[in-house]
Each structure stands twice: as C-alpha cells, then as structure tokens.
C-alpha cells in the first residue's frame, strides 16, 4: 500500500480482514476503506496504485460497491476518468447497508415463507413445519415493521433511542435484574 499513512494503512488492512465476515471479499473491503477515508474522490487508477491491486480487481470491486450503493460515481470537469467517493456520514452508510441487506437477504426469505404459508399441509410433519414457518414469518415481519419505523427516524431521534437501550441495561444491572428476568424487554 504505497503512499498511505500508517493510520490509513491500518484502517484499510482492517477493513480488508473484516470484509469476509461482512460478506464481501478482502479486496472490496480495502477499496471501500480507502475511498471512505480519502479527502477527495479517487479514480480507479489512483486506487489500484495506492493499494497495489490490478486495475481489473479495482474495477470489479468498484462495481460491487456501486451495486451496494456504498460508493458514488463522480465526474470532474476536464477529466474523462470516473471518480468515486463514499458518503462521509456513518448514519447514511449504516442505513444503506441495512436497506441492501434487507433487499438481498430478508425479502427473499419473506417471499419464500409467504409462499410456503399458502400451502395446505399434506401431513402432520408439514403442519408442524408450517406452524414453525409462521412463527419465523411473523417475527421477521414484526422486525421489518420496526426497521421501517427506524429508517424514517431522523439521526438525532435514532441516536437517543439507541442510547435508551444502554440506560435500561444499566437500570436492570443496578436493580440486580438481567434482561431475561425482565421478560427480555429493554
């Protein structure tokens, strides 16, 4: 990683290592991290040079990041190259990731469960399976309703809501109760 400060190099390396845990490959994680901390939009050649990646790997990584809506294409006057930047607002990034995960992972599961729940059980085994799928469906639907409400909140309200959970946990700890003893409610 040429011409990167030790701080940026460490951040980029960490995102690369974490990428596989987040469902992206190391290269894509490093490209994103570099774009995120860059003070100005970067073009693919800049990224390839700084990370010492092939231009084709960078191009593929940028396409994936665009598909996730994590980087935005920019053009600069007098330059035919494409430049890329990431939103600098962590809340916007979090919301985008949550929306994309929902679209890619949750919605197909809900669709499958809805279709399964329309089936007539052919046996006691199917009846039990449908009952359990209904429980899963109802939980996911409830969670998605909550998610929609949270997505509509402004950043300040959402931040206060998240801090409330920590306060409730402290009260429960102070009173000697665990979340499980309080019915799992926070």
The secondary structure of the chain, three-state, reads CCCCCHHHHHHHHHHHHHHHHHCCCHHHHHHHHHHHHCCCCEEHHHHHHHHCCCHHHHHHHHHHHHHCCCCEEEEECCEEEEEEECCCCHHHHHHHHHHHHHHHHHHHHHHHHHHHHCCCCCCHHHHHHHHHHHHHHHHHHHHHHHHHHHHHCCHHHHHHHHHHHHHHHHHHHHCCCCCCCCCCCC
For residue range 140-155, list pLDDT tens digits in order.
Answer: 999 999 988 888 888 8
Return the pLDDT at 16.
Answer: 92
Return the pLDDT at 19.
Answer: 83
Q: Please tell me the pTM assigned to this model.
A: 0.74
For residue range 3-27, list pLDDT tens digits in order.
Answer: 899 999 999 999 999 987 887 899 9
Quickly state the pLDDT bin for 66 (edges 50, 70, 90): very high
Return the pLDDT at 46.
Answer: 96
Return the pLDDT at 186.
Answer: 43
Q: Is the pLDDT of residue 183 over 60?
A: no
């Amino acid at each position: 990683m040429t011409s990167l400060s030790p701080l940026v190099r460490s951040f980029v390396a960490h995102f690369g290592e974490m990428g596989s845990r987040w469902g992206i490959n190391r290269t894509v994680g490093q490209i994103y991290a570099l774009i995120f901390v860059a003070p100005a939009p970067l073009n693919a050649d800049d990224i390839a040079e700084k990370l010492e990646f092939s231009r084709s790997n960078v191009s593929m990584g940028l396409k994936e990041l665009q598909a996730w809506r994590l980087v935005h294409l920019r053009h600069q006057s007098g330059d035919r190259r494409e430049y890329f930047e990431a939103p600098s607002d962590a809340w916007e990034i979090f919301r985008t990731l949550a929306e994309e995960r929902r679209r890619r992972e949750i919605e197909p599961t809900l669709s499958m469960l809805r279709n399964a729940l329309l089936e007539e059980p052919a046996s006691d085994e199917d009846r039990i399976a449908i009952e359990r799928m209904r429980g899963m469906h109802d939980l996911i639907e409830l969670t998605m309703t909550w998610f929609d409400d949270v997505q509509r909140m402004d950043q300040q309200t959402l931040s206060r809501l998240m801090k409330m959970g920590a306060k409730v946990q402290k009260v429960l700890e102070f009173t000697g109760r665990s979340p499980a003893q309080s019915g799992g409610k926070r």
